[in-house]
């Protein structure tokens, strides 16, 4: 199933086709046929595309401003795992529409849930699966990144923003709090006072310039250029040796989890481990021979 996922063309959403509901997922007769014929994998709530060595995931629930329903996140996780398992892919970009990256978790889907149901099913727990992905994930954020949308962006490794991007954690206005990392990752990204202000008021949002100045995002570009610009950076990352890219990601993420001494030890072990790779030999030899390195990801 996963092997059949990759394609050089955008896969069409199933909503445009006749659907047969099988449990939580909707599959279409057209989908089964098309998959068999072309090797594409189609999804209901996202579009997927490969551009060179970059996998591009576009959230695609335009009428709901890409509200993150449970099934959408199942699909995002599946697409990410597929890219992670594909040797031809070196990095992934997640984006939404020009109006909304994602306007948060799906309020209509969760409004009637009872505590015991959320607790027993570990509601939203599956969102965190994307933090297990080894390859770098870049977020290209246009428009609203609110609540879970902001949290999804912060689960990515790099965030680029379009000029009209808006970041916020409005959950308090719904009688809840951020539930997918907002109280933890936002503090680390923008500092305690600004994070508290955003989370406790629910209405102090960051525009793209503010997000850049606080370090939440690393670049702001015109909305229409955002995806291409983000893919360009992803391509640069994907052109490096994959073992070193993935270990670099792991080492940086370690800094959020462990004390400095343990993080430094982890970093040195990974650095030393890379001397067991062909890419280290190639990278350093290429430097000495004054030529471009040709990494083989070995
Ligand atoms: N869930 C479900 N539906 C949503 C949604 C959400 N988070 N956000 C927007 N929509 C739907 C709206 O209900 C509306 O649908 P209908 O046409 O059927 O009424 C459609 O998207 C368009 O939305 P608006 O008409 O509201 O568009 P707008 O341009 O006037 O406003 C907005 C845009 C400011 C983003 C506004 O939609 C909004 O405030 N959305 C909710 C934002 C929010 O509170 N997010 C946090 C969710 S909770 C969460 O994420 C928990 C967590 O930590 C994981």
Tens of pLDDT, residues 90-135: 999 999 999 999 999 999 999 999 999 999 999 999 999 999 999 9
DSSP assignment string, 51-118: ETTEEEEEE--GGGTT-B-HHHHHHHHHHHHHHHT-TT--EEEEE--SSEEE--B-HHHHTT--HHHH
The SS3 assignment for 210 reads helix
Residue 14 pLDDT more than 70? no
Mutate to test the pocket of ligand 1, among 76, 103, 118 (most ligand atoms within 8 A of CB): 103
Q: What is the pLDDT of residue 41?
A: 74
Token duo for residue 30: 């057209």
The SS3 assignment for 231 reads helix
From the list 55, 90, 143, 148, the catalytic residue is 148
Average pLDDT estimate for 23-45: 47
C-alpha distance from residue 186 to each of 112, 169, 174, 234 (Å): 27, 9, 19, 23
Active site residue 229: no
Q: Single out the residue of 135, 174, 142 nearest to residue 156, CA to CA.
A: 135
- In angstroms, how far is CA 243 from the centroid of its own chain? 20
Full-model pTM: 0.89
Tens of pLDDT, residues 41-95: 799 999 999 999 999 999 999 999 999 999 999 999 999 999 999 999 999 999 9
Residue 15 pLDDT more than 70? no
Tens of pLDDT, residues 194-221: 999 999 999 999 999 999 999 999 999 9
């Amino acid at each position: 199933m996963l092997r059949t996922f990759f394609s050089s063309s955008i896969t069409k959403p199933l909503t445009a086709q006749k659907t047969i509901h099988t449990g939580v997922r909707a599959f279409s007769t057209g989908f089964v046929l098309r998959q068999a014929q072309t090797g594409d994998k189609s999804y209901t709530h996202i579009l997927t595309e490969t551009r060179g060595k970059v996998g591009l995931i576009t959230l695609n629930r335009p009428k709901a401003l890409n509200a993150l329903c449970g099934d959408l996140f199942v699909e995002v996780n599946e697409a990410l795992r597929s890219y992670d398992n594909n040797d031809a892919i070196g990095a992934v970009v997640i984006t939404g529409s020009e109006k909304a990256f994602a306007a948060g978790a799906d309020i209509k889907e969760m409004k009637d849930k009872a505590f015991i149901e959320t607790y027993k099913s570990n509601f939203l727990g599956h969102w965190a699966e994307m933090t297990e992905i080894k390859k770098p994930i870049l977020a290209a954020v246009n428009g609203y990144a609110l609540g879970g949308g902001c949290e999804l962006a912060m689960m990515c490794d790099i965030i680029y923003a379009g000029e009209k991007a808006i970041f916020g954690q409005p959950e308090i206005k719904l009688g809840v709090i951020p539930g997918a990392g907002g109280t933890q990752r936002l503090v680390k990204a923008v500092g305690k006072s600004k994070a508290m202000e955003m989370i406790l008021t629910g209405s102090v949002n960051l525009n793209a310039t503010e997000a850049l100045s606080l370090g939440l995002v690393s670049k702001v570009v015109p909305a229409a250029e955002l995806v291409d610009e983000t893919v360009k950076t992803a391509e640069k990352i994907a052109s490096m040796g994959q073992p070193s890219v993935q270990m670099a990601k792991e080492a940086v993420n370690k800094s959020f989890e462990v004390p400095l001494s343990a993080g430094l030890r982890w970093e040195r072990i990974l650095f030393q481990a890379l001397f067991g790779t062909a890419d280290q030999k190639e990278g350093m030899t290429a430097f000495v021979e004054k030529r471009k390195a040709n990494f083989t990801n070995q």
